[in-house]
Structure 1
Amino acid sequence: MRTLFVLLDKEFRQFLRNPFMPKMTVAFPVMIMLVMPWVTSMDVRHIGVAVVDRDHSETSRRLAQKIANSDYFTLFALSDDFRGQLRNLEAGNVDAILELPDGFERDLESGNPQHVSISANGVNAMKGSLGTQYLMQTLSLTLAELSAERGRPAPADRVAVQYRYNPTLEYRNYMIPALMIMLLVMMCGFLPALNLVGEKESGTIEQINVTPVSQFVFTLAKLIPYWLIGLAVLTVAMTIGWLVYGLVPVGSLGSIYLAAALFILVMSGFGVIAANCSSNMQQTMFGMFFFVMIFILMSGLLTPIQSMPQWAQRITYALPPRYFIDIMRAVYLKGATVADMWPCYAALAGFAIVFNATAALTFRKQS
């Protein structure tokens, strides 16, 4: 134990003397949590809409005003020239065209409204799809308001939609737990690997080789500081999520920290394997970057796993972040417990055992 404490003291001193690492450890999670939730948003806003008004009635003007006043839309033009607006759609100046036919208000009063045409730009499929849905919803709500103001019964809603766990459909609430996972991948995967390879390149590992320090104690001394840093970074990230975005976990903090501890063990073991198989910084960085890209793109961090092909979905079972992502989002948004998510906890524990055992077997106390 005394040897371990001496090595830990050496690691912390070496870390704090580094002119870059302490600053990066503090600045990186703060910047990620303050900036990324705003820029990595799948919410669709500022949809350019052109209204082709052939009716020129109070109802059509009311609809155009609603679109202009909405945060989701930008009223590009109000005209009666459909071909001209279609050219704007083809040029990418607008995202959707709302065409109100002649006699729209008259037919609406008689209870036999005409169909309203919406032409959307489908190049950006998500923006086109969501923009059309927003436009249809705005149209329905405006017509219901007009019916109520004129003393007519509003059309009955046949479908009642309730969004559970994320009532406002804020994409930030979905992404913030994922960003915490990215921080742990970087802090507890990349940094230990680069630290170990740095010992090889600088030649200081040769001084350890001639000492009676066992490979287990040496590796443990390399990893423990980053385990503590990872838990501290997670705490900072959750605090920023609470103070800046008002997002607090519905479930218990213990469930989050237990999953985080297992995931930190997984990533640190993976980092040691990468370092053991590399002889310089470049090899380590390229190897880690390759696998981290797979983790980010295929583990459900950015896109739903269910949207992937069947062969890709099978591959995701071999990716540790998949299970941690499921735990974080379930605990944060749904209030899930360890008992609810025990298969994911068991999978992380299994990965931790396999990765760290492999790291111990591939480590050789030689330069």
Structure 2
Amino acid sequence: MRTIRFLLQKEFRQIFRNRSILTMIMVMPVMQLIILPLAANYEVKNINLAVVDHDHSSYSQKLVSKITSSGYFRLTGYHPSYNESMHQIESDDADLILEIPANFERNLIREDQEKLLVAVNAINGVKANLGGAYLGNIIRNFNADVRFQFFPAAKFAAEPVIEITSSNWFNSYLNYRVFMVPGILAILVTMIGGFLSALNIVKEKEVGTIEQVNVTPIRKHHFILGKLIPFWLLGNVVFSLGLLVSWLVYGIVPVGSLALLYGFISVYLLAVLGLGLLVSTFCETQQQAMFIMFFFMMIFVLMGGLFTSIDSMPEWAQTVTRFNPVSYLITVMRMVILKGSAFRDIAPHLGIVAIFAVVLNSWAVLNYKKSS
């Protein structure tokens, strides 16, 4: 313990002497947590719509008014032909084209049917799918209004009708910030812990102080613990700041136990810091460590379930995510903060993360060579 105490004093002095590290730890996560949830939004709005109206009737005008008043579409203009409206899609000034055929109102009233053409710019797949779905739903509602106008429902309906009443649990108003903030906080804690621990040993190799440590009788596990504990404490500080910002800025208060959250994040930080220390034992320069950690972080973020549901991934990708510690943290953060899950609910995730922590830190201890 006396050896570890001296190592901790050395590490904390180095950390507090480096103002850039303190800025990275204290300021950057707070700013990112404030800004990123405002930009990360799954709801698509301001979809540019070009209309080609060959009918110019009251019904076509009502349809266009219903679409623009929904709040999701922005009318970029009327065009006399489909080819002219295509120029707007080619120049990215329009996302969808709605072509209303001639005699739209007459055919709809007399023949009880009519066809509309919807062309979607699919260069952005997410915007195309959601924009086309929004527009199709609005057109169906308009069709229902027209049918009700000419064929009002009888006092006693001849056909059985099923009514569906839905309720949203854990996020009643479908607020995307409530959904995104816990996941973004998980990513920030991972990045801070992973990058700082990965650069720590490598920095001493570049400066040359690692040679002074190697000639001392310090054991390898003491050395790794001396590097691990300071950043473990700082990781908990970053997590605490993130919870504070989530409450002050977004009004998100964890439904579940804070002690349970801190218990999981404590074990999780051991796994992430172990990965960073393992990377640093393989690398000789900070540039190498940065590139390797960047490789892992890209996989962790994109395949962690923050932006894409893990269940919708192909089977091979779901298998890969089982070795992604970030996916477990994002899941647990949402379970505890939004659902109020108890220990028995997160126990399987905690067990897997604990295995990661043991394996990665043991590997880092075994791979560190004092003779280097």
Matches within 5 A, 1:98-137: 98-105=98-105, 112-137=112-137
Aligned residues: 367
Deviation at 1:209, TM superposition (A): 3.1
Deviation at 1:211, TM superposition (A): 3.5
Aligned match of 1:48: 48
Matches within 5 A, 1:316-331: 316-331=321-336
1-side partners of 2:144 and 2:245: how far apart?
41
Query: In the alignment, which of 340, 349, 358 is matched to residue 344 of structure 1?
Result: 349
Deviation at 1:280, TM superposition (A): 1.9
Q: Does 1:353 align with 2:358?
A: yes
2-side partners of 1:173 and 1:131: how far apart?
23
Aligned match of 1:178: 183
SS of equivalent residue, structure 1 residue 37: helix
Q: Deviations for 1:218-254, whole angstroms, at most 9, x for unmatched residues?
A: 3222221211111111121122222222333333323
Aligned match of 2:5: 5
Q: Does 1:209 align with 2:214?
A: yes
Unaligned runs of 5+ in 2: none
Query: In the alignment, which of 277, 282, 288 is matched to residue 283 of structure 1?
Result: 288
- Structure 1 length normalisation: TM-score? 0.87
Q: Deviations for 1:41-71, whole angstroms, at most 9, x for unmatched residues?
A: 3332211112233343334323323433443
Q: Does 1:92 align with 2:92?
A: yes
Q: Deviations for 1:188-239, whole angstroms, at most 9, x for unmatched residues?
A: 1110121111122222233333434333233222221211111111121122
Matches within 5 A, 1:152-231: 152=152, 162-231=167-236
Q: Which amino acid aligns with 1:22?
A: L
2-side partners of 1:251 and 1:43: how far apart?
27
2-side partners of 1:157 and 1:129: how far apart?
28
Q: CA contact under 8 A between 2:187 and 2:326: conserved in structure 1?
A: no
Q: Which amino acid aligns with 1:124?
A: N
> Which of 321-330 and 192-201 deviates more?
321-330
SS of equivalent residue, structure 1 residue 52: strand
Aligned match of 1:76: 76
Deviation at 1:102, TM superposition (A): 4.1
Q: Does 1:248 align with 2:253?
A: yes
Q: Does 1:267 align with 2:234?
A: no
1-side partners of 2:145 and 2:247: how far apart?
37
2-side partners of 1:115 and 1:251: how far apart?
52
Aligned match of 1:312: 317
Aligned match of 1:299: 304
2-side partners of 1:299 and 1:226: how far apart?
23
Change (3 A) 1:86 1:209: closer
- Paired-residue identity, %: 41
Deviation at 1:145, TM superposition (A): 6.5
SS of equivalent residue, structure 1 residue 341: helix
RMSD: 3.0
Aligned match of 1:22: 22
Aligned match of 2:237: 232
> Which of 187-196 and 149-158 deviates more?
149-158
1-side partners of 2:144 and 2:251: how far apart?
33
1-side partners of 2:71 and 2:77: how far apart?
16
Q: CA contact under 8 A between 2:274 and 2:361: conserved in structure 1?
A: yes
Deviation at 1:310, TM superposition (A): 2.1
Change (3 A) 1:280 1:87: closer
SS of equivalent residue, structure 1 residue 75: strand
Change (3 A) 1:218 1:309: same
Q: CA contact under 8 A between 1:187 and 1:229: conserved in structure 2?
A: no
Q: Which amino acid aligns with 1:179?
A: I
Q: Which amino acid aligns with 1:56?
A: H
1-side partners of 2:110 and 2:342: how far apart?
56
Q: Which amino acid aligns with 1:335?
A: G
Q: Deviations for 1:168-188, whole angstroms, at most 9, x for unmatched residues?
A: 444433332221122122221
Q: CA contact under 8 A between 1:52 and 1:97: conserved in structure 2?
A: yes
Deviation at 1:348, TM superposition (A): 0.5
Aligned match of 2:262: 257
Change (3 A) 1:255 1:321: same
1-side partners of 2:152 and 2:216: how far apart?
90
Q: CA contact under 8 A between 2:255 and 2:336: conserved in structure 1?
A: yes
1-side partners of 2:352 and 2:26: how far apart?
30
Q: Which amino acid aligns with 1:62?
A: K
Q: Which amino acid aligns with 1:40?
A: A
Q: Which amino acid aligns with 1:349?
A: A
Q: Deviations for 1:315-335, whole angstroms, at most 9, x for unmatched residues?
A: 222222222222222323333
Deviation at 1:20, TM superposition (A): 1.0
Q: Does 1:362 align with 2:367?
A: yes
1-side partners of 2:131 and 2:162: how far apart?
21
2-side partners of 1:52 and 1:167: how far apart?
39
